[in-house]
Amino acid sequence: MEQTNHLVDTIIKGIQEKKGTDIVVADLNGIDGTICRYFVVCQGNSPTQVDAIVDSIADMAREQGEKPAHIVGRENAQWVAMDYGDILVHVFLPDVRQYYDLEHLWADAKLNVIPNLD
């Protein structure tokens, strides 16, 4: 569990490194029927920034010996999902994020909103 929490922190740093915004960590621990422990959701303002955020997350996680099992959505970079087993990371363009509203799929999940860096 400590390793998972450390990876969540690393993912947040990777997002912030490329000025990703509106980071929300949904804690799904203790909720039946979930596919992971945490959802990390954020956004970039352009497909180029979304792609840079994904690269930053992957690079920082790799330094800890963690590699995603899958990365999908890079071809158009509107919604990129990264699967780290217990952690699913979703990097969106703002309008796509608003449409899917992933962080509110589980009403009983604890949401941790990470303040944007200036």
For the stretch 17-62, pLDDT in tens is 999 999 999 999 988 888 899 999 999 999 999 999 999 999 999 9
Length of the chain: 118
**Interacting residues of 45 by C-beta distance below 8 A, sequence separation 6+:** 21, 93, 94
Q: Which two tokens stand for residue 76?
A: 């158009």
39-53, 57-71, 95-109: segment of lowest average pLDDT = 95-109
Give the distance, in angstroms, between the CA of residue 19 and the centroid of all CA atoms in the same chain. Answer: 13
Residue 48, H or E segment: helix 47-62
What is the value of pTM for the model shown? 0.94
